[in-house]
Structure 1
Amino acid sequence: MVAEAAVTPQTQGTRLRVCVVLPSATRGGAEIWQERLAAAGSRVDLEVIALAEGDAAAQWRRLGVPVTVVPTGTRAKGAPRAVARVAAVLRRSRPDLVLGHGVKAGLVAAAAGAMSGTRSAWVRHDDSFEGGLVRLLDTLVDGRVSSAQRLTTGRPAGLVVPPPLPTGMVSRAEATARLGLADDGLLRVAMATRLAPYKGVDDAIRALAQVDGWALHVYGVADAAYPAEHGRLVALAESLGVAGRVHLHDPVDGVGSLLAAHDALAVLTRADRDARVTGESHSMAAHEALACGVPVVATPPLEQTLGEGCLAVPAGDPAAVAAALVGLTDAAVRARVGAAGREVVAGEDPHAAAEALERHLAAVALRPGAGRVDGPPVSVITTVLGEAEGLGTLLDQLRPQLGPDDEVVVVDGGSRDATVDVARAHAQEDPRVTVVVSPGAGISAGRNIGIERARHDLVACTDVGCEPAAGWLTSLRRAAADHPGALLTGVYDVTATTPLQRALAVTGYPVVEESTHPTPLTRLHGRLFGRAFDPTMPTGRSMALHRDAWREVGGFPEHLATGEDVTFGRAVAQRRPAVLVTDALVTWEQRPTLRSTLRMYYRYGQGSGHSRDALLLARDAARALAYPVGVALVARGGAARGLALAAGALYLSVPALRAARGPQPVRTTLLVAPVSALRDGAKVLGALDGLRHPPDGDA
């Protein structure tokens, strides 16, 4: 996952680009969590924005990752400036995703992502700011990751990635030597933590005053928020007469792999008033101790994840900590608890954890499969009828994308021109091309025939008239490897050469860039008016799925002449996950005239009516009502007129902005409103006709 990870010709240009936002200068468990996952991954290129200079940023520089420091300062009034600076960095680097660690960095990442048009996610490492801020952040971002299962309660779906274990755990003798620990005849209890009051180091010191035979070794990372903590702990140890058994070490890089030098680890986080946490949700050091066979003494709720490898003690109770240490004085008890701890972490695999995180982030960025080099073989299905020239062009574009085990199945519905001859000529040149002639088969029937005849379970669809971009098929293949069995919805762009065609394009079709790099306006517009790619509503131009999913819904609906792909996709999405694959791009040639385009929308409306799909019909009903209601409100005047004009302006805003950015912006923009009205009218009339007249065969 780190920047210097091997880049092969197969992954060049396809890897996921993620910008990580770190909240502070401190290099604690959350920062090490990201470092280890980055080291174990292989599909992501990282850059880092640190909100303070310090050890965390320095470590990423040592790893060869680009780092930008954007200080937020200690006061809230500095946050807007920091957000603006982070947004500027994101605009320059254009990552696929910005990932914030913790609530502070998550809020900065979400706000800067909105300003810069960057999709965002955040990682929750503890239960700080439980409640309103967490709910707000979950609403603002596109993806959510947690480091412990308990942090997901009451929140939208996300991914749980526990702290990954380090590699290279060493023996007790070697760890003791590397740490330079003297053999003083005392048992050793370790704490690897930030030096903050709520981390409970003072409870461990007070416990030490109540039990003999133990020494406390604290590998403490200084916390800039509590500069006096080290001195406070030293004074406490001296006042209790245990200064000779309390050792406050400097931080040791990789101390987790050296915990075998100790006889126990203490994690004693408590809910102090200014801590904003109620307990330790996960502990990097605790998992490392379990891997070393070292028992853990921990406050709730950590025992929920550490199991029998943990002795639970109440928070803020030094006497209970002392009692736990007394119990662990028995070597047999230490051995039993340590062995149980090893069992708890025996199945943990940092590479599997990194793969899960990379897979999740790629899906959040709408680039599933990004950076992969593998995937199953694919059967591409295309149906044709009287399209000799277009079929030749499509096969010329598809064949170079085929792998050795892939195939293209061409289903001809009874062409009277040279379409079949063109298909068979390609089949003679390339055995990966199969031709099926089925006179009378429409688009749905042709797809069903092709899928039935396909050699592979992963099937993709595209149409003549579409130009698959380089890597189209590979993108679907890689996405299928990330999400086996899911509905994979590709994307499309439309050609436009005249102002009228551009007006039709900006009003009628979604834009890929508005999905991968959305602004608040394009997000709102897409949700309100359906002008965004929806993974549950694929088109036959660019989609893929497992053949079992096709069987589950009875195939493409053959009674529908239009809209069959959307109806089919919605049926599949009710049973299986649906994933948008923005790398699977085809370019589609628009109808040449306004008349033919309106006829197409009329037929789309008929398909909605024939399908009786509630969502599609609701959209058409909204179109039907919007115009007369809007005119009535404008005529009424006053606040009603303002509301109607505002709604109309919002409806036309994104198409107008698209038009203004293209060629001949004035002429194109002037056509946006009338073209929108004509398109909506054609769709509504078609839907009404479809409701009144059932499709052939359903009468």
Structure 2
Amino acid sequence: MYAETVAETTPDTQAPPTPPAPRALRVCAVLPSATRGGAEIWMERLAAASSRLEVDVVTLAEGPAAQAWRERGVPVTVIPTGRRAKGAAGTVLRLARHLRAGRPDLVLGHGVKAGLVGAAAGHLSATRSAWVRHDDSFSGRPVRLLDRLTDGSISAVERLTEDRGHTSVVAGPPPVQTVLPREQACHELGLPADGERHRVAMATRLVPYKGVDDAIGALADAPRWELHVYALPDAAHPEEADRLTRYAQQRGVADRVHLHAAVEDIRARLTAFDAVAVLTRDDPGSAVSGEAYGVSAHEAMACGTSVVSTPPLHGHLGRAALPVRPGDPASLAEVLVRLEDPELRADLGSHGLAHEASVHQDSGTDALERHLAEVARRPGAGLAEQRPVSVITTVLDEAEGLDELLRALRPQLGDDDEIVVVDGGSRDGTLKTGHRHAAQDPRVRIVETDGAGISQGRNIGIAQARHDLLACTDVGCDPDPGWLPALRAAGADRPQAGLLTGVYAVTSTSALQSALAVTGYPMVDELTHPSPLTRLHGRLFGRSFDATMPTGRSMAVTAEAWREAGGFPEHLATGEDVTFGRTVARTHDAHLVSDALVTWEQRPTLRSTLRMYYRYGLGSGHSGDRRLLARDGARALAYGAGGAMLLAGGPRLRGLAAAGATLYLWVPLRRAASRPHPMAVTALVPLVTVLRDGAKVAGAAVGLRQGAPEGAGTTPTTTGGRPG
């Protein structure tokens, strides 16, 4: 039985304001060249539309791309790279130094070249990485390799997500916010509102494969049309404008070809034209194969302007554009003649508007922000929107600890948040402490339920909670000031997620505790900035944060996921949080939230610590979870085989056993070097590792033999979680 107690005393404190959102996501964007084309403008516009990203830029060459970012007030670093392998290696090393110095949350490469450089530098500097695929360039093996090297990927269009190494999100540029009336657009571009001819526009870089010459060639067979090109220069083709001018003269259409300087916000003024053409063709001299996205095409559709395009872009646009054959001026001329029909132009314009409305239902900026935050293990980063939350904690005879926890949590509450404290039958001053806080703050509620253990207490508290997002922490934990805002923001960022797994750090006051910390627990910094070695160590030995294996110290779950999982398992006295998380993650998305940090104090003695690990193993055995038991089984086999090899094996087997032990201990030993008294901590690492593993394996063996105990969840226990 349980009873809810609500203090009747008038609150004597005013609720403090909600703490600010988690800090913005810091992204280092790597651009492959000096050129400023559609891919570069894509990133500029997404960054400008974002309130969550804090961007600095590295370009691999000086030029217009770098200058455009400087004009926006964004820090730019130029790291030139050459065509030879030595130059590329030097670029990677310089970028790695830049990343180590700046410590961004992740590095984002644009295209295959910048993606490879960013991924390599990211591994060297322990920086998470992602890359953007803008087109079909280098399709096949290079793309799959890059997907394996990076932590995330973004595609400019749905088609580019096919056959990827990992899930790639689609993030088109932000929608066109302002569309000028035709008369105003013509005036600002210096064009007559009602000219004698129809106008087709191209907004593109001046490179041969963009097909401007095909448009010029088409004018000879479409005499009622004129061409306006708003050109971004390309340093690789400095003679292209002169070539096009000569070609127009040769074709006898020079009076109908107009090469303009690029207009920064041409997208708002495309209403001045009767059609916009995207005519990219395969480039035999490079890996370019058509246009995958075509920023100007989508901007034209947002203006209701007709679009003509070559494959593969046309296949993506469907009825919103008319197809033309690449490299075929006659094909384009036929389409332009058809577009002299105003009804056809109006029909294409309406289909274009509908297409853009459907494309931008989920903003490209939102998709990019969510994906990059997930890659950085910081969902909710920089997000002002936050979900209301109910915090659940269970207590038993922990008056001082409860007072400290509530003092830490209450300043983090929003106006509609609440803390539900479930007391399992305290006989000291715990209830008095809880009631005092409830009297001061109506957002604190006390629920009394004599005899309830941790799982039952959490389930009772969750059942009484008002909100769908339910956070858990324990007495004895010190939540970071941003702990609850981080979970609230992550819940808003990932509304479909069933489980949000926070992180923890342990305190150490002696060399022994430091040795236990570096051997037994994952490190938050290794989650957010993992080196290749720590990644490998985590995969092999499991000592890393895992979204599917939360601890009750720092986690949040939705009410729906909690119900579908059947609640926290009340038959388990320990390990209930990990078992519950594994159950939830089978049917719901789970996400790590590195900003949701709590700190807790280790057990004071080696004996009490080993008893804790024994109980963790016991919980694994009672749960019957194959993954948890596999870890303990692997440890038992490794120690048995390693011991036999050392005692009875020859030099080769002994060397193999020593190499295995070195690999197992290498990361803890590296961690020990950064602790106070590093020599003492390093000396203790092998010993505490053996004792820790032995205690956990022994507990798992006993728990597996006993099976799930009846009524284990009904006995009150002190609160606590378990290491990852």
What TM-score, normalized to structure 1?
A: 0.95
Partner in structure 1 of residue 480 of structure 2: 469
For the 8 Å contact 1:21–1:48, the answer to whether it is kept is yes
Q: What does the per-residue CA deviation read over 1:566-622, in whole Å, with 9 as the maximum and x for residues that have no partner?
A: 000011111111111111111011111111111111111111111111111111111
Give the whole-Å Cα distance in 2 for the aligned partners of 1:272 and 1:356.
Answer: 31
Say yes or no: does 1:167 pair with 2:177.
yes
Moved more, 518-527 or 191-200: 191-200
Give the whole-Å Cα distance in 2 for the aligned partners of 1:225 and 1:629.
Answer: 61
Give the whole-Å Cα distance in 2 for the aligned partners of 1:455 and 1:75.
Answer: 62
Partner in structure 1 of residue 558 of structure 2: 546
Partner in structure 2 of residue 360 of structure 1: 371
Say yes or no: does 1:665 pair with 2:675.
no
Give the whole-Å Cα distance in 2 for the aligned partners of 1:271 and 1:543.
Answer: 51
Q: Partner letter of residue 599 of structure 1?
A: R
Give the whole-Å Cα distance in 1 for the aligned partners of 2:195 and 2:594.
Answer: 62
For the 8 Å contact 1:485–1:546, the answer to whether it is kept is no
Q: 1:326 aligns with which of 308, 315, 337?
A: 337
User: Aligned Cα RMSD in Å?
Assistant: 2.0
Q: 1:560 aligns with which of 572, 591, 604?
A: 572
Partner in structure 1 of residue 639 of structure 2: 627
For the 8 Å contact 2:31–2:59, the answer to whether it is kept is yes
Give the whole-Å Cα distance in 2 for the aligned partners of 1:339 and 1:659.
Answer: 65
Q: Partner letter of residue 348 of structure 2?
A: V
Say yes or no: does 1:428 pair with 2:439.
yes
Q: Partner letter of residue 136 of structure 2?
A: D
Partner in structure 2 of residue 59 of structure 1: 68
Give the whole-Å Cα distance in 2 for the aligned partners of 1:475 and 1:420.
Answer: 29
Counterpart of 1:323 in 2: which secondary structure? helix
Q: 1:513 aligns with which of 525, 531, 550?
A: 525
Identify if the C-alpha distance between structure 1 residues 341 and 374 changes in structure 2 by more than 3 Å, giving closer, same or farther: closer
Partner in structure 2 of residue 3 of structure 1: none
Matches within 5 A, 1:95-244: 95-155=104-164, 156-181=166-191, 185-244=196-255
Give the whole-Å Cα distance in 2 for the aligned partners of 1:354 and 1:482.
Answer: 13
Give the whole-Å Cα distance in 2 for the aligned partners of 1:121 and 1:279.
Answer: 24
Give the whole-Å Cα distance in 2 for the aligned partners of 1:476 and 1:225.
Answer: 48
For the 8 Å contact 2:483–2:595, the answer to whether it is kept is yes
For the 8 Å contact 2:22–2:380, the answer to whether it is kept is no
* 1:186, distance to aligned residue in structure 2 (A): 2.4
Partner in structure 1 of residue 463 of structure 2: 452
* 1:36, distance to aligned residue in structure 2 (A): 1.5
Give the whole-Å Cα distance in 2 for the aligned partners of 1:430 and 1:176.
Answer: 62
Give the whole-Å Cα distance in 2 for the aligned partners of 1:173 and 1:52.
Answer: 40
For the 8 Å contact 2:105–2:376, the answer to whether it is kept is yes
Counterpart of 1:265 in 2: which secondary structure? strand
Say yes or no: does 1:491 pair with 2:503.
yes
Matches within 5 A, 1:394-413: 394-413=405-424
Identify if the C-alpha distance between structure 1 residues 225 and 630 changes in structure 2 by more than 3 Å, giving closer, same or farther: farther
Matches within 5 A, 1:676-695: 676-695=689-708
Partner in structure 2 of residue 654 of structure 1: 667
Q: Partner letter of residue 681 of structure 2?
A: T
Partner in structure 2 of residue 343 of structure 1: 354
* 1:643, distance to aligned residue in structure 2 (A): 3.1
Gaps in structure 1 of 5+ consecutive residues: 1-7
Q: 1:374 aligns with which of 371, 379, 385?
A: 385
Counterpart of 2:455 in 1: which secondary structure? helix
Partner in structure 1 of residue 300 of structure 2: 289
Q: 2:88 aligns with which of 75, 79, 86?
A: 79
Give the whole-Å Cα distance in 2 for the aligned partners of 1:483 and 1:491.
Answer: 17
Counterpart of 1:622 in 2: which secondary structure? helix
Give the whole-Å Cα distance in 1 for the aligned partners of 2:36 and 2:519.
Answer: 49
Task: Report runs of 4+ in structure 1 exceeding 4 Å deviation.
Answer: 8-13, 347-351
For the 8 Å contact 2:22–2:489, the answer to whether it is kept is no
* 1:351, distance to aligned residue in structure 2 (A): 8.9
Partner in structure 2 of residue 28 of structure 1: 37
Partner in structure 1 of residue 6 of structure 2: none
Q: 1:611 aligns with which of 605, 620, 623?
A: 623
Question: Higher relative contact order by CA 8 Å / sep ≥ 6: 1 or 2?
Answer: 2
* 1:15, distance to aligned residue in structure 2 (A): 1.6
Q: Partner letter of residue 52 of structure 1?
A: A
* 1:323, distance to aligned residue in structure 2 (A): 1.0
Partner in structure 2 of residue 392 of structure 1: 403
Q: Partner letter of residue 412 of structure 1?
A: D
Say yes or no: does 1:599 pair with 2:611.
yes
Counterpart of 2:363 in 1: which secondary structure? helix
Partner in structure 2 of residue 481 of structure 1: 492
Q: Partner letter of residue 668 of structure 1?
A: V
For the 8 Å contact 2:501–2:591, the answer to whether it is kept is yes
Give the whole-Å Cα distance in 1 for the aligned partners of 2:439 and 2:333.
Answer: 82
* 1:110, distance to aligned residue in structure 2 (A): 1.1
For the 8 Å contact 1:21–1:105, the answer to whether it is kept is yes
Moved more, 58-67 or 488-497: 58-67
Identify if the C-alpha distance between structure 1 residues 642 and 207 changes in structure 2 by more than 3 Å, giving closer, same or farther: farther
Give the whole-Å Cα distance in 2 for the aligned partners of 1:13 and 1:559.
Answer: 37
Q: What does the per-residue CA deviation read over 1:9-51, in whole Å, with 9 as the maximum and x for residues that have no partner?
A: 9548712211111112122111111122222221221111111
For the 8 Å contact 2:108–2:129, the answer to whether it is kept is yes
Partner in structure 2 of residue 523 of structure 1: 535
What TM-score, normalized to structure 2?
A: 0.92
Moved more, 572-581 or 185-194: 185-194
Say yes or no: does 1:253 pair with 2:264.
yes
Q: Partner letter of residue 643 of structure 1?
A: L
Counterpart of 1:558 in 2: which secondary structure? coil
